Structure 1
Amino acid sequence: MSGLIKPSLGIMNLQQTAQKFQLSRLAPSEELAFFIRHYWIVRWDLRGQEPYIQHVIPNPCVNLIVEPGQTAIYGPGKEKYGHHLEGHGCVFGVKFKPGGFYPFFKQPVSGMTSPLSIQSVFDADPLALEADMFAQENEQQMVALIEQLIRPKLPEQDTQVAFINEIIDYINEQHDITKVDSLCEHFHVNKRTLQRLFDHYVGVTPKWVIKLARIQNAAEMTDVSDKPNWSKLSMDLGYHDQSHFIKDFKSIIGQTPDEYARQAL
């Protein structure tokens, strides 16, 4: 039975966005939970207001997104992206676990450089799915509809998916992890094997996942701090050079830490 789960991280300037849209995240059924992290639903009503662009920090996950005229499967992004909100509307998303889409796709996820048709993977017509999805009366019915679409294509559970998620959970929990070699040592895996595994299953490198975890942590700490101490924060995240921290932050967030902090005020 799907249920409401606590929102995870990734929405930029989260405290400033509450009046612009509503975000729900719901857990998948037990049968699909091996592959899917959660479902997400964004609703907004900005009628009579200026359009709004909500920025989201990238993540190492594939998303199936149901949105009028834009329904498709999207590979992991490598930099922040913005979603244009205007008038009123709703978007439904399936966030697969890192590596969780590969068993459905059976091709290297790194090759997903453009959106993938849902018809090619789930034999579903996007326009028909959009009509059905947004005719549902509540979020639980929306989840039931998408699970009805996915379930016939459910592959065998792949132990590599569990292994990848164990590695990524470790990266997110251990803030002092700064090098891929540390992962190889901890998990007793060859570096080239690990890189090939991430290329096929995740679509991004383990080095990028490490950098993303550190920068996302920095952005979230900035969101809740009135006067961030960049020197201390960069050291806490394992950076020995503050300029390196600023460069990494800007490469993913698109702004320097100072610019991001000023925007959050």
Structure 2
Amino acid sequence: MPTPTGRSHAVLHPSRARQRIEVGRSGPDAGLADLVDYFWWVRWDVPEPHEQEVVPRPVVHVSAEVLADGPRLVVTGVHQRMFSRRLVGQGHTVAAGFRPAGFRPLLRGDVGALQDREVRAVEVLGVDDRPVAEEVLACERPEDGAEVLGRWLAALPREDDPLVGRLADLVERAEQDPALVRAGQLADLAGVSLRTLQRWFRSHVGIGPKWVVQRFRLLDAVAAAHGEDDVDWAGLAARLGYADQSHLVRAFTQLVGHPPAAYAREA
């Protein structure tokens, strides 16, 4: 299996989270690796309700959860702002995190229509999700539940689309290269106009390229805040493409709710 990726520092207040939740990951089988980046699961046993915040990436997730009408598969589109989940009592969830643009072949439609939404899988895939959600959550080991979910996803009809791999590679490069700070740089790498790239991103990734670049650079700032060393925020702002430290502070505070230095002390 490929090594699961994703960004662990997207989970805010990690030391607090480790005291309350257990998180695991695994990679997809080869037949699904072109669409799914990794499987993940969370277990919790909290005497008091716990609010867990996560910085969203340009990724669609399909998760098995217990809702008011029982176990269901939920499709979560790209969220522009902070994503928060309230955990109560005991429970667990198992999910697939898709590669950027990777959900498009299964959706066979505009991924941008899922932006800031959580919907039952049956509503967008047209397949009853109850039986597989029940089977996934009934597994004693979450790794086994991830395998069940993977087999179900692999059996779904998919639409061939040459843009999917191209855009997934482009977004993943933007995530890994802190020197990419503008959407125009991505358009140059893709060899298309910015307008064309914007149209591709909205229909396949689910959000625009400017948001994608800015989110990854903010995640770089979050990663720095989670580190053990004192951070030169002015120097980091320059490296991440911000006009000055105050611009980074405003963007970070708007997303996380605290200025970066204050968050670093708390985190």
TM-score with structure 1 length normalisation?
A: 0.90
Q: Is contact 2:40-2:146 (8 Å) kept?
A: no
Name the SS of the counterpart of 1:79 in structure 2.
coil
Name the counterpart of 1:137. Answer: 140
Gaps of 5+ in 2: none
Deviation at 1:125, TM superposition (A): 3.4
Q: Is contact 1:4-1:25 (8 Å) kept?
A: no
For the pair 1:90 / 2:89, whether they are aligned, the reply is no
Counterparts of residues 164-203 of structure 1 (less than 5 Å): 164-203=167-206
**Over aligned residues, Cα RMSD in angstroms?**
2.0
1:74 corresponds to which letter in structure 2? Answer: T
Q: Counterparts of 1:7 and 1:206 in 2: how far apart (Å)?
A: 18
Deviation at 1:81, TM superposition (A): 1.4
For the pair 1:249 / 2:252, whether they are aligned, the reply is yes
Greater mean deviation of Cα atoms: 56-65 or 2-11 = 2-11
Deviation at 1:42, TM superposition (A): 0.2
For residue 80 of structure 1, the aligned residue among 71, 82, 93 is 82
1:65 corresponds to which letter in structure 2? Answer: S
Deviation at 1:6, TM superposition (A): 6.3
Counterparts of residues 113-152 of structure 1 (less than 5 Å): 113=115, 114-120=117-123, 121=125, 123-126=127-130, 128-152=131-155
Would you identify which runs of 4 or more consecutive aligned residues in structure 1 move more than 3 Å? 2-8
Name the counterpart of 1:158. Answer: 161
Q: Counterparts of 1:173 and 1:3 in 2: how far apart (Å)?
A: 18
Q: Counterparts of 2:34 and 2:229 in 1: how far apart (Å)?
A: 39
Going from structure 1 to structure 2, the CA distance change for 1:43 and 1:119 (only over 3 Å counts) comes to same
Name the SS of the counterpart of 2:119 in structure 1.
coil
Which structure features the higher share of strand residues?
2
Spell out, residue by residue over 1:164-215, the C-alpha distance to the aligned partner (whole angstroms, 9 max, x if none): 1221122122212221222222331111110000010011110001100110
Name the counterpart of 1:30. Answer: 30
Going from structure 1 to structure 2, the CA distance change for 1:23 and 1:58 (only over 3 Å counts) comes to same
Q: Counterparts of 2:2 and 2:236 in 1: how far apart (Å)?
A: 35
2:60 corresponds to which letter in structure 1? Answer: V
For the pair 1:211 / 2:214, whether they are aligned, the reply is yes
Going from structure 1 to structure 2, the CA distance change for 1:42 and 1:122 (only over 3 Å counts) comes to farther
Deviation at 1:229, TM superposition (A): 2.4
Going from structure 1 to structure 2, the CA distance change for 1:166 and 1:249 (only over 3 Å counts) comes to same
Deviation at 1:15, TM superposition (A): 3.4
For residue 50 of structure 2, the aligned residue among 45, 48, 52 is 52
Deviation at 1:156, TM superposition (A): 4.6
Name the SS of the counterpart of 1:155 in structure 2.
coil
Q: Counterparts of 1:231 and 1:140 in 2: how far apart (Å)?
A: 42
For residue 61 of structure 2, the aligned residue among 60, 63, 70 is 63
Name the SS of the counterpart of 2:66 in structure 1.
coil
Spell out, residue by residue over 1:238-265, the C-alpha distance to the aligned partner (whole angstroms, 9 max, x if none): 223222111221232233213322321x
Q: Is contact 2:132-2:152 (8 Å) kept?
A: no
Identity across matched positions, percent:
26
Q: Counterparts of 2:187 and 2:138 in 1: how far apart (Å)?
A: 48
TM-score with structure 2 length normalisation?
A: 0.89
Going from structure 1 to structure 2, the CA distance change for 1:170 and 1:130 (only over 3 Å counts) comes to closer
